[in-house]
Structures are given as structure tokens and as C-alpha cells.
Amino acid sequence: MQREIVKAQQSVQIAERTADAEVKRVTGESTGIKLKVEAESQALKMRAEAEAEAIKMKAQAEAEKIEVTGKAEASKILEIGKSNAEAYQLAVKAMGDELFARLKITEEIGKNGIKIIPDILINGSNADSGSVAGLMGLKMLDLMNTDQKASS
């Protein structure tokens, strides 16, 4: 019986040592996994911060580009305006106010296709025939326009 008790005690000790070894092995694995997860988390965090910084730098560069381009464009427009003003002043000085104004009005009429002469001019030598002739002319024009629309 003594032998069996010693054998049982040894079996218990072996089981305890095996359990302790298993606990240490699992704890080691757990710690390794935990460290690996923390390292991956830290790497992801650093990558996200780097990407955020890159985006921020790109946005700042784009904003500076827009600002510089805008200032250059504004400066160009201002210089063109000054140049045009000087040219107008020289033209007015050379031509005179009235002639320059007439020239500009004529240019605008030409550019915009403004009609200054009417299509129909009613004119007559006496009051009765002039009005009748004018009305007849309007009617003929109306008939011509109707015929042109019908043939189109």
C-alpha cells in the first residue's frame, strides 16, 4: 500500500509539473500574441499618421499653388487694365474726345450687328399717296415673308 501511496503522490507531482509547464507555455504564447498585436497596432497607427500627414502636406501645397496662381492672374488682369487705360488715354489725346467717342460707338455698332437703317422706309411726295404707298409696301413685304416661310 505504501508503494501505491508513493506512486500516487508521484503521479500528482508529475501532473502538477505538467500543468505548470502547460500554463507557462500558454502564458508565453499569449504574451507573444499580445506583443505581436501591439506591434501591428502601432505599425497601423504610424502608417495612418504618415498618410494623414501626407494628405495634409498635399492639401497645403495645392492651396499655395491656387493662391500663387490667383495672385499671378490678378496681377496680369491689373496690368492689362492699366495698359488698356493708357492706350485709351493716348487715343483720346491724339483724336480728341468727340472723335474717339464716335469711333467707339461705331465699333460697338459693328461688333454687335446693331441695325441703324430700317428695312422699310416710308417716304412720299404728298401726304395721301405716301401713306398708301407705305401700307402697300408693308403688305407686299408681309406677303414675301409668308411665301419664304412656306417654301422653307
Domain spans of the chain?
Answer: 117-144
* Residue 124 DSSP code: -
Q: How many Cβ atoms are within 10 Å of 137's Cβ, its own excluded?
A: 14
* Residue 113 DSSP code: T
Task: Compute the average pLDDT of residues 35-49.
Answer: 94
Average pLDDT, the chain: 87
* Sign of the CA dihedral running 28, 33, 39, 45: negative
- What distance lies between CA 147 and its chain's CA centroid? 51
- Is the pTM for the entire model greater than 0.75? no
Please check the confidence at residue 11 and state whether its pLDDT lies above 90: no
Confidence class for position 53, pLDDT limits 50, 70, 90: very high
CA angle at 122 for the pair 121 and 124, rounded to the nearest 5°: 130
Q: What is the dihedral of CA 18, 22, 23, 28, to 10 degrees?
A: 140
- What distance lies between CA 51 and its chain's CA centroid? 24
